[in-house]
A and B are shown apart, each in its own frame.
Chain A
Amino acid sequence: MFRMQTPRGVRFALFAVVALALFAASPAAAQEGIDAGDTAWMLTASALVLLMTPGLAFFYGGLVRRKNVLSILMQCFFCMALMTVLWVVVGFSLAFAPDAFGGFAGGFDYVMLNGVGFDAWDGTAIPGQLFMIFQAMFAIITPALMVGAFAERMKFSAICIFCSVWLLVVYCPVAHWVWGGAEGFFGLGGDGALDFAGGTVVHINAGISALVAALFLGKRQGHPRDMSPPHNLPFAVLGTGLLWFGWFGFNAGSAVAANASAANAFVVTHIATAAGALAWALIEWVRDKHPTVLGVITGAVAGLVGITPACGSVNAAGALGVGFGASVFGYLAVTLLKPRLGYDDSLDVFGVHGVAGIWGAIAAGLWATSAVPGNDTNGLFYGNAGQVALQMKAVIYTMVWATVASAILLKVIDLTLGLRVTSDEERVGLDLTSHREAAYTLVD
């Protein structure tokens, strides 16, 4: 016998629709100061940045064992949904509203996108709503980056809560310090620290927090002796290709205009990525006799990460240095530091994003040159040694806050909900135990 009943999920959805209808009344204001070219480019760039997250999902998904590939795709794809909702409700406001909490974060002025309209956003010639959605794509991929560190062993519910709270208490404040116009103690951007597209906000932030998460979670069963090699490297190559492609939106889009600064960012992004891919493969070729596919794609990602903070201030020559350096330091972290220290950062989020991110932030202070359009800051190699100190300060602020906040957050989740799946679930694989699905069937 069945009794007709509205399921709990449906009731919640109905409530949500009604609530949304109340805040959907957007202002139909005149669109002043809008540039058509800038707007066209930023619409495109926003879509490019979104594509990075599925790209990342395939990069990570190919590297795990076949019993966990869906769990990785799910965690990344779920971020696209969850972070978007959080961003429009309160995240954007915490990052980009005028100073509150002594400059620690933005206030609540833009909650529910209140006041974010279609007039030109401050300092740009694109609509405020477009600036908001471009930034939303950054807020999606940054938590998704961390997924690689706790792959194959973390509860899905714990991941959802960790990434959600992390977005609001770690990502949004740091975005505010660097890009949101914070003043005073937290005014990193105001100080003159160079971070064009998110070396501190995105990569150091995610890389350090990911390391903390890997330490809190502990190693996977059988690590390191019984780990299988990547179950589908072609997926990882596909994912890296999508990342490289989308990254043009990430970096060149960070000019928030269709201008020479964007063109420079596009060019140096490509150069540094090529240099990074080449360097990692060459190191392997010399040291281990064989250049690996995983090595060349990891080097490409390291190059992309490294150039991210620097792409608004370095020229082509600088980009070669940034890209090579990113792979050298990334390689050292991943193949020498990690085994020596013994932590299980499963897919090397710290080694690639954290370490290459730190390198990139410092390298921006080395190779910055005022010859680059839209940049009036010189770095150490162009006679301004002080810029390195400013870069270091931004790096240290980000590292300290990411470590402290992530550690507290993980501890609280561990004590309440629990971070790890049971050892039986881990052995069977998260695809079946967390999601009741399998990526590959046995026959047919």
Chain B
Amino acid sequence: MKYVVAVCQPDRLNEILDRLQKAEIHLVTVSQVMGRGRQKGISEVYRSHKEAGSLLRKVKLEVAVNDEFVPQCIEAISGAAHTGEIGDGKIFVIDLDDCVRIRTGETGEVAIG
């Protein structure tokens, strides 16, 4: 099992969700986050003085998948999030120890789907 974390441009979110759906990956958690990478951020100005923090709005997707779904998942996210512009984002893939479906108490690979 893997835990896939992706940080992407907010305007790509709907496309990413569509592609994940088509790849039969339904489990996903999305949050609004602030961050920066090579793109750098845009500083806000307050009373003609630049604010220190320069971050941009991004969305973060978290997807838990069984091993055989990892390539489709990455393909779906990167395919939809790619524009070729700086700031498209990153995908991180992390080993996942376990998963519990709270409703039934099932654990492991069965619980993910």
Interface positions of A (Cβ within 8 A of B): 224-230, 284, 287-288, 290, 292, 294-295, 331, 334-335, 339, 348
Contacts and interface: CB of A to CB of B under 8 A. Distances in A.
Contacts of A227: 46
A290 B52 contact: no
A432 B52 CA distance: 27
20 contacts: A224-B49, A226-B52, A227-B46, A228-B51, A229-B44, A229-B46, A229-B51, A230-B46, A284-B48, A287-B48, A288-B45, A288-B48, A290-B45, A292-B45, A294-B46, A294-B47, A295-B48, A334-B47, A335-B47, A335-B48
Interface of B: 44-49, 51-52
A293 to B, nearest CB: 10
A223 to B, nearest CB: 12
B56 to A, nearest CB: 15
Contacts of B51: 228-229
B44 to A, nearest CB: 5
A22 B51 CA distance: 58
Contacts of B47: 294-295, 334-335, 348
A284 B49 CA distance: 11
Contacts of B44: 229
Contacts of B48: 284, 287-288, 295, 331, 335
A290 B47 CA distance: 11
A295 B49 CA distance: 12
A229 B48 CA distance: 12
Nearest to B46: A229
Nearest to A336: B48
A116 B14 CA distance: 67
B34 to A, nearest CB: 12
Nearest to B50: A288
A225 B52 contact: yes
A287 B49 CA distance: 11
A183 B35 CA distance: 64
Nearest to B43: A229
A22 B48 CA distance: 56
* Most chain A beta-carbon neighbours within 10 Å: one of B44, B46, B51, B52: B46
